[in-house]
Amino acid sequence: MTRTVKGPTDHVVVVGAGLGGLSAALRLAGAGRKVTVIEREAVPGGRNGLLNKDGYSFDTGPTVLTMPSLIQDAFSCVGEDMKDWLELMPLSPLYRAFYADGSQIDVHANTAQMEEEIREKVSPEEALGYRRYVDFVTKLYKYEMHDFIDKNIDSPLNLLTPNLARLIALGGFRHLQPKVNQYLKDPRLQKVYSFQAMYAGVSPQQALAIYAVIAYMDSVNGVFFPKGGMHAVPRALAAAAQKHGVEFKYNTTVTGLDKQNGRVKAVTTNTGERIECDVVVMNPDLPVVWRDLLGKTPLNIKRLNYSPSCATLLVGSSKKYDHIAHHNIHFGESWDGVFDELINKKVLMTDPSVLVTVPTHDDPSLAPAGKQSYYILYPTPNLDADIDWTKQAKPYRDQMIQTLEDRGYTGFGDAIETEVMTTPLDWQAQGMERGAPFASAHTFFQTGPFRPRNMAAGFENVVFAGSGTQPGVGVPMVLISGRLAAERIVGPVK
């Protein structure tokens, strides 16, 4: 039996309209609960935010959308069809990978198309290895999803299922990089099918092979782009929730909780309101919730290790480049070294690997006529590093642009019409512990049943959603976290 909150659950307050909070709100509304969502920003989305500047619409958070079935699942809770709310375009290629030796490889979800790409660019042997690798990650996904990701886990004993034995036999608990290398011998392919471990905050050398499931979610299942940008997703979810009776209070911050005998009776806000409730779902970053609202932070939360962070540049530009796709990964020469610098030495990358996303590639309406928008992401250490971003931001911004120019974006700096830089310090100011947008790292003892639980210790009626709790980081996981939070309140929905 899954544990659920004790006592009445008629009125639920959801703190934060991020994807986890919205996913929970839709499921709760569908189960007949009265739901009030309190959001400090003027729009929904949380980390999946929106910035309008000089005629450009920039997504400020995630840029890669996978597993649209999970978005449909949230709409289905209230009897809605995603297609009526959201237009998703499948991307092809999913990624264009550029390498230090000047070569490039396009990544496709269609396995026959990808086999052809590998046969042509690498070798027929590697194409066969790729086919075996797809078989491996597809099995991983099948064994992992229901028992370990899409399920509330109360104790490691919940993991003792036939699928655990299958995962062990498959090699899911070995390290990711050697497992990938078992199938793929070309270093370029090894990189493109293991870099996803970065999303989980660990290096491919350190990550468990079960994280290849992220490679399945994008490189096999496909990557999509919503018309109107990534922020169209939370906008659509919030609109559907509102249609089905969920009340939203924007520009409102929860400043306190009225706690009595281990229960939260009401939340108080900066607007002077006191909102009585039966249950609270907390969507902000879990350690921040403990520190700011719940009181004494438990030891296991204090001891968490955090993922690397990133610096992003949102750029509005007059220049278009014909050699790039929607998502572009520029790998440096260094690979193991990059992760060693970011995670162990906690210094800036000397030979960076970079993600460049071009939203206007598929939706020109996100920029003024004839202009382009770029989302540039450089992984950096988190705020545990000895880097003073108040002094480092400007020189690093110049370095980011220089690196892009060196890697084929000629004249990039001169074509910039507007820009916004976000550093780890800015992520922290937005409420992310240690300035880490990817939350606590998915090391073995911070994964699955060992990740912070979604029920707050010492409280009967406080539930967590978002990347800090189970199942973890990334848009698919966060959407699932909202569903799992709702199931703690209304029980598993069949």
Residue 125, domain member (yes or no): yes
Mean pLDDT of 147-175: 72
Q: Which residue has the higher pLDDT, 349 or 209?
A: 349
pLDDT at 427: 94
pLDDT at 151: 67
Whether residue 480 sits in one domain with residue 411: no
Q: Which residue has the higher pLDDT, 159 or 401?
A: 401
Residue 440, domain member (yes or no): no
Per cent of the chain over pLDDT 90 is 73
CA 262: distance to chain centroid? 32
**Residues 219, 212: Cα–Cα separation, whole Å:** 10
pLDDT at 198: 75
* Structural domain count, the chain: 3
Residue 422, domain member (yes or no): yes
User: 236 is in which domain, residue-wise?
Assistant: 11-50+65-89+228-304+445-490
Band the pLDDT of 428: cuts 50, 70, 90. Answer: very high
pLDDT at 329: 96
**Residues 300, 131: Cα–Cα separation, whole Å:** 41
pLDDT at 154: 60
Residue 95, domain member (yes or no): no
Band the pLDDT of 155: cuts 50, 70, 90. Answer: low
Band the pLDDT of 358: cuts 50, 70, 90. Answer: very high
Q: Which residue has the higher pLDDT, 479 or 493?
A: 479
Q: What is the pLDDT of residues 133-151, one digit of tens each?
A: 999 998 888 877 676 666 6
Band the pLDDT of 254: cuts 50, 70, 90. Answer: very high
Residue 448 in tokens = 């699955």
Choice among 87-101, 309-323, 357-371, 461-475 with the minimum mean pLDDT: 461-475
Whether residue 248 sits in one domain with residue 157: no
Mean pLDDT of 194-199: 80
pLDDT at 345: 95
What is each CA distance from 70 to 75, 152, 301, 477, in whole angstroms?
Answer: 9, 16, 28, 9
**Residues 440, 250: Cα–Cα separation, whole Å:** 27
pLDDT at 454: 92
Band the pLDDT of 205: cuts 50, 70, 90. Answer: confident
Q: What are phi and psi of 195, to 5 degrees?
A: -65, -20
Query: Of 158, 189, 221, which marks where a domain is finished?
Result: 221
Mean pLDDT of 414-429: 96
Residue 4, domain member (yes or no): no
Whether residue 269 sits in one domain with residue 213: no
Residue 291, domain member (yes or no): yes
Whether residue 210 sits in one domain with residue 166: yes
Mean pLDDT of 466-486: 91
What CATH number is given to the structural domain containing 39?
3.50.50.60
Whether residue 318 sits in one domain with residue 427: yes
Whether residue 260 sits in one domain with residue 176: no
Query: Of 221, 245, 260, which marks where a domain is finished?
Result: 221
Mean pLDDT of 463-472: 91
Choice among 161-175, 275-289, 300-314, 393-407 with the minimum mean pLDDT: 161-175
pLDDT at 150: 64
Q: What is the pLDDT of residues 361-401, one digit of tens each?
A: 999 999 999 999 999 999 999 999 999 999 999 999 999 99
**Residues 458, 440: Cα–Cα separation, whole Å:** 22
Whether residue 282 sits in one domain with residue 194: no
Whether residue 391 sits in one domain with residue 482: no
- Counting Cα atoms < 13 Å in the Cβ hemisphere of 229 gives 26
Mean pLDDT of 302-324: 95
pLDDT at 285: 92
Band the pLDDT of 159: cuts 50, 70, 90. Answer: low
Whether residue 300 sits in one domain with residue 236: yes
pLDDT at 91: 95
Query: Which residues, listed in sequence order, are joined to residue 282 by a DSSP beta bridge?
Result: 15, 464
3-state secondary structure the chain: CCCCCCCCCCEEEEECCEHHHHHHHHHHHHCCCEEEEECCCCCCECCCCEEEECCEEEECCCCCECCHHHHHHHHHCCCCCHHHCCCEEECCCCEEEECCCCCEEEECCCHHHHHHHHHHHCCHHHHHHHHHHHHHHHHHHHHHHHHHHCCCCCCHHHHCCHHHHHHHHHCCCCEHHHHHHHHCCCHHHHHHCCHHHHHHCCCCCCCEHHHHHHHHHHHHCCCEEECCCCCHHHHHHHHHHHHCCCEEECCCCEEEEEEECCEEEEEEECCCCEEECCEEEECCCHHHHHHHHHCCCCHHHHCCCECCEEEEEEEEECCCCCCCCCEEEECCCCCHHHHHHHHHHCCCCCCCCEEEECHHHCCHHHCCCCCEEEEEEEEECCCCCCCCHHHHHHHHHHHHHHHHHHCCCCCCHHHEEEEEEECHHHHHHCCCHHHCCCCECCCHHHCHHHCCCCECCCCCCEEECCCCCCCCCCHHHHHHHHHHHHHHHHCCCC
pLDDT at 310: 94
**Counting Cβ atoms within 10 Å, is residue 229 exposed (0-12), middle (13-18) or buried (19+)?**
buried
Whether residue 300 sits in one domain with residue 202: no
Q: What is the pLDDT of residues 255-295, one digit of tens each?
A: 999 999 999 999 999 999 999 999 999 999 999 999 999 98
Residue 91 in tokens = 């991307």
What is each CA distance from 419 to 51, 57, 256, in whole angstroms?
Answer: 11, 12, 36
- Counting Cα atoms < 13 Å in the Cβ hemisphere of 310 gives 22
Band the pLDDT of 359: cuts 50, 70, 90. Answer: very high
Query: Of 221, 247, 277, which marks where a domain is finished?
Result: 221
Residue 6, domain member (yes or no): no
pLDDT at 173: 80
State yes or no: pLDDT of 486 exceeds 80. yes
Whether residue 138 sits in one domain with residue 74: no
Q: Which residue type, as a one-letter code, is found at position 172? A: G
Residue 96, domain member (yes or no): no
Q: Which residue has the higher pLDDT, 229 or 450?
A: 229
- Do the Cβ atoms of 482 and 474 come closer than 8 Å? no
Q: Is 80 left (phi over 0), alpha (psi -120 to 50) or beta?
A: beta
Average pLDDT, the chain: 92
| Residue with tokens 């004839």, as numbered in its chain | 370
